[in-house]
């Protein structure tokens, strides 16, 4: 079953933890098995298997903004100890935004993107890049994801 894991770094090995299973390990057959540093603490995976321990396969690193914009669950923003925190999936995924404006922009973009995708499902022939609203939303997302 597909899902998201987050890194729990330890000196001796890179460890990841899932919301429901606790610690998991990258499967030895994975191309990421030997990787010791990831730019983001989050991986998405396609398959989870349990043998001697729980392993994930077909995993890829994902940075926080694509995860928040395209992941499941509701996006929440709040001020905590002077920092603007964006959270997803009941607080399982959390990160600090650069500013209140960025936090609100991410939340608004997620809402707009969800609506745009619902419109696309209702009207599959709709060209998201040609309609002004779709073009604007996609342009803002590309800018956010590429300049983080």
Closest residue by Cα to residue 4 from 50, 52, 72, 53: 72
19 in the same domain as 50: yes
Sign, Cα dihedral of 99, 133, 65, 147: negative
Report residue 11's pLDDT band, with 50, 70 and 90 as the boundaries: very low
Q: What's the total number of domains in the chain?
A: 2
Asked if residue 69 belongs to a domain, the reply is yes
CA distances from 65 to 31, 68, 97 (A): 24, 5, 10
DSSP letter (8 states) at residue 81: T
Residues 46 and 69 in one domain: no
Q: What is the pTM of this model?
A: 0.72
Domain that holds residue 37: 11-62
**Residue 1 pLDDT level (bands cut at 50, 70, 90):** low
Range 108-116 average pLDDT: 92
Same structural domain, 85 and 57 = no
- One domain, residues 54 and 73: no
Q: Does residue 41 share a domain with residue 71?
A: no
């Amino acid at each position: 079953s597909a899902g998201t894991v987050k890194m729990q770094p330890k000196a001796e090995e890179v460890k990841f933890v899932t919301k429901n299973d606790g610690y998991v390990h990258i499967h030895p057959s994975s191309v990421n098995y030997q990787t010791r540093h990831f730019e983001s603490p989050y991986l998405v995976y396609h398959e989870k298997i349990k043998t001697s321990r729980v392993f994930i396969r077909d995993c890829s690193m994902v940075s926080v903004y694509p995860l928040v914009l395209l992941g499941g669950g509701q996006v929440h923003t709040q001020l905590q100890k002077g920092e603007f925190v964006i959270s997803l999936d009941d607080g399982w995924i959390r990160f600090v935004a650069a500013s209140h404006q960025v936090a609100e922009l991410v939340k608004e973009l997620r809402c707009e993107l969800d609506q745009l995708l619902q419109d696309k499902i209702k009207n599959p022939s709709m060209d998201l890049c040609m309609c002004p609203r779709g073009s604007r939303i996609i342009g803002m997302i590309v800018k956010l994801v590429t300049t983080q």
